[in-house]
């Protein structure tokens, strides 16, 4: 077990009920099996996605429109037969974590800052150890992770570089140029493409960038709304523009993903 204490960074040991470091810092295991390693100033403070957002994400992803992406990420792990420690950073409700971790016989961690997301993830039948944790201070030692995955979430170059082992790979997925373009055409008078420019990350080396571009046959206006609501631009779109999706029973939608593979620089 690789987890480290978020207070003193010593190794955590686990017994059936909790995780404890040599300095006595103790973190109880929740009934769903996850551990909360987030140090918050105020206990009970709301952090990250709420329960409704977590449930909406789980319900939509369970329809498997994004399964080809999960398979593509999984194949990157399968290309690393010597990997013994893997982590899904900002794992959300664990849809991708479950698919990618299946059959992996090393340690697999899932981290998210939202307790509601982690609670749903931990209910899945996986061998993954899920923890509430901030990606800016991951509870793993330096150079310990051989495979890190990171989908549609904020990036933390310094921390990702810190945890990657020398042979380790980070697979980071973000929306490509034409992602959900048909939905944008339905909603906006002047639809725009996503900017694909990658920021410069001096601590990481981009070794490969792959594109997965597929058409999804979205079957209802409810699914179109769910798909759109998982994007950052949903919240920048007026209610009346969003309502333009109401009368559409379904449509073929482009899913365009950029899969970026990084190593430690």
Ligand X SMILES: C[S@@+](CC[C@H](N)C(=O)[O-])C[C@H]1O[C@@H](n2cnc3c(N)ncnc32)[C@H](O)[C@@H]1O
**Site of interaction with ligand X (CB under 6 A):** 48-49, 57, 90-92, 95-96, 112-114, 117, 134-136, 151-154
Q: Tell me if 1 contacts Zn ion by CB under 5 A.
A: no
Would you say 8 or 207 has its CB closer to Zn ion? 8
Q: Tell me if 207 contacts Zn ion by CB under 5 A.
A: no
Q: Tell me if 23 contacts Zn ion by CB under 5 A.
A: yes
Count of residues of this chain found to bind Zn ion when the rule CB under 5 A is applied: 7
Would you say 135 or 227 has its CB closer to ligand X? 135
Quick note: the x/- pattern for Zn ion over 86-105, rule CB under 5 A, is --------------------
Q: Tell me if 3 contacts Zn ion by CB under 5 A.
A: no
- Nearest position to ligand X, beta carbon: 92
- Report the partner that residue 95 touches, choosing among Zn ion, ligand X, none (CB closer than 5 to 8 A by kind): ligand X
3, 4, 21, 227: which one binds Zn ion (CB under 5 A): 21
E strands in 35-138: 35-36, 85-89, 107-112, 129-132
Range 120-124, long-range pairs (CB < 8 A, 24+ positions): 120/54, 120/55, 120/58, 120/93, 120/94, 121/34, 121/91, 121/92, 121/93, 121/94, 121/97, 122/30, 122/32, 122/33, 122/34, 122/94, 123/32, 124/94, 124/97, 124/98
Residue with tokens 């329960």: 51
Q: Tell me if 39 contacts Zn ion by CB under 5 A.
A: no
Would you say 10 or 32 has its CB closer to Zn ion? 10
State the Cα–Cα distance between residues 62 and 60, nearest whole angstrom.
Answer: 5
Write down the least CB distance from residue 3 to Zn ion, Å: 11
Residue 172: its H or E element = strand 164-175
Give Rg (Cα) of the chain: 19
Write down the least CB distance from residue 105 to ligand X, Å: 23
């Amino acid at each position: 077990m690789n987890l480290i204490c978020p207070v003193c960074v010593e190794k955590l040991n686990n017994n059936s009920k909790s995780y404890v470091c040599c300095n006595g810092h103790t973190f109880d295991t929740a009934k769903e099996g996850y551990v909360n390693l987030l140090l918050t100033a105020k206990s009970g403070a709301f952090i990250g996605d709420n329960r409704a957002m977590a449930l909406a994400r789980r319900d939509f992803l369970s329809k498997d429109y994004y399964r080809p992406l999960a398979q593509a990420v999984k194949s990157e792990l399968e290309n690393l037969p010597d990997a013994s420690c893997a982590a899904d950073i900002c794992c959300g409700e664990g849809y991708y974590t479950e698919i990618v971790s299946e059959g992996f016989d090393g340690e697999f961690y899932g981290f998210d800052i939202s307790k509601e997301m982690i609670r749903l993830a931990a209910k899945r039948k996986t061998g993954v150890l899920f923890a509430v944790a901030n990606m800016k201070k991951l509870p793993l030692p330096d150079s310990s992770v051989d495979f890190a995955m990171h989908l549609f979430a904020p990036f933390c170059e310094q921390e990702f570089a810190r945890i990657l082992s020398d042979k380790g790979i980070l697979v980071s997925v973000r929306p490509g140029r034409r992602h959900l373009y048909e939905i944008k055409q339905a909603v906006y008078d002047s639809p725009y493409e996503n900017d694909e420019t990658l920021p410069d990350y001096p601590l990481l080396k981009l070794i490969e960038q792959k594109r997965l571009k597929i058409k999804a046959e979205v079957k209802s206006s409810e699914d179109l709304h769910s798909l759109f609501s998982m994007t950052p631009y949903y919240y920048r779109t007026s209610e009346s523009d969003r309502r333009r999706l109401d009368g559409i029973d379904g449509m073929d939608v482009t899913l365009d993903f950029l899969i970026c593979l990084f190593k430690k620089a």
